[in-house]
Amino acid sequence: MNTNDIITQKAAAIAEVNAAGDLAALEAARVKFIGRNGLLPQFMAAIKDVPGPEKKEFGQAANGFRNEVQAAVDARKEILAAQAEAAKSAAFDYTLPGSWPQLGSKHPITQIIERATAIFRTLGFTVADGPDIESPFNNFDALNVPADHPSRADKDTFYLDEKAPHESLLRTHTSPVQIRVMQSRTPPLRIIAPGRCYRRDTTDATHSANFHQIEGLYVDRRVSMADLKGDISYFAKQLMGPDVKVRFRTHFFPFTEPSVEYDFSCHVCGGKGCRVCKHSGWIEISGAGLVNPKVFGLVGIDPEQWQGYAFGMGVERIAMILYGIPDIRFLYDNDVRFLAQF
């Protein structure tokens, strides 16, 4: 191989570059001639075999090959890019009327959380938040949940650390936020805690392993069941309408004493009975009650000085009731045709 070979190959390379019809063909030509495994490296490797007096001329020719071929590639690339842009512009019909994108809407779950938050703000509640990954103490122990309670089992709760079982978990409710607030703040307290929760539920029309709750906590010197019933009733009328009725049924929860479950009268049939309320006239919402004094003791609040109430509700359940959604999975399928209704 000598200097004349390089000059001949350079002419052929530049001709092929200038003949490239598109950017892909141009890139193939660049790789072929000056790429890592192309012709140029072969020239550079051959310098060691060139006789001494000819090395300088040969090296200059190799450098000229690289520089001129690269310059041809750059020039051709600029031409092809301009042609592509011109073709793109030519394909667009500027005489057509503008097409405006359709405005989106908030997800039903987001709407319910925002509505509920706005209602409770009028009662003086503020929003509190906490992590999705919690400790068993905040999720169970501080809420007076017994060690043998079924909710603590692996089949019901997502535990995270395989090396240290039951050291961390995905919270099963937003009640740990209440615990964190009581541990870090001095009463009086009035907070709501909307957020995502996780349980090992088999997904069906009414259950999901991933769902949302809104929980509330009110702690002050004198708090009674009358305060709880009044605030829940106010919330129901603001959310469901002035004609809604609320009933409270005795129940048991380890973190409240006394405990109740509360129902709203069916907004579809007005309490007369229909498919939505299973012909009972009532729709079960969730549980509530006065904070168990044991819970106050576990978080360092004197139960002799302070009382409080706590409540919770499922956001998906309220959305399904309020909007007449028959299957909870519709809320997570991300079907724009469904979500556009809201």
Instruction: Give 62-119 pLDDT, tens digit per residue.
Output: 888 888 888 998 998 999 888 888 877 777 777 878 777 777 788 999 999 999 999 9
In Å, what is the CA distance from 123 to each residue of 72, 118, 227? 74, 9, 11
- The tokens of 29 are what? 């030509």
| pLDDT tens digits, 241-274 | 888 899 999 999 999 999 999 988 887 777 787 7
What is the per-residue pLDDT for 229?
95
Per-residue pLDDT, averaged over 314-323, amounts to 87
CA dist., res. 164 & res. 167, Å (int): 6
What is the per-residue pLDDT for 98?
77
165 confidence band (pLDDT: 50, 70, 90) = low
Burial environment of residue 8 by CB neighbours within 10 A (0 to 12, 13 to 18, 19 or more): exposed
C-beta of residue 273 within 8 angstroms of C-beta of residue 281: yes
1 confidence band (pLDDT: 50, 70, 90) = low
Q: Pick from 14, 269, 317: which is nearest to 6 by CA?
A: 14
C-beta of residue 158 within 8 angstroms of C-beta of residue 126: no
Q: Pick from 290, 293, 234, 291: which is nearest to 264 by CA?
A: 234
Q: Taking the CB of residue 33, how many other CB atoms lie within 10 A of it?
A: 23
| pLDDT tens digits, 187-229 | 999 999 999 999 998 888 878 889 999 999 999 999 999 999 9
Return the percentage of the chain with pLDDT > 90, whole number: 44
What is the per-residue pLDDT for 284?
85
Q: What are the strands, taking DSSP E only, across 68-175?
A: 126-127, 133-134, 169-170
Q: Taking the CB of residue 14, how many other CB atoms lie within 10 A of it?
A: 20
- The tokens of 13 are what? 């390379």
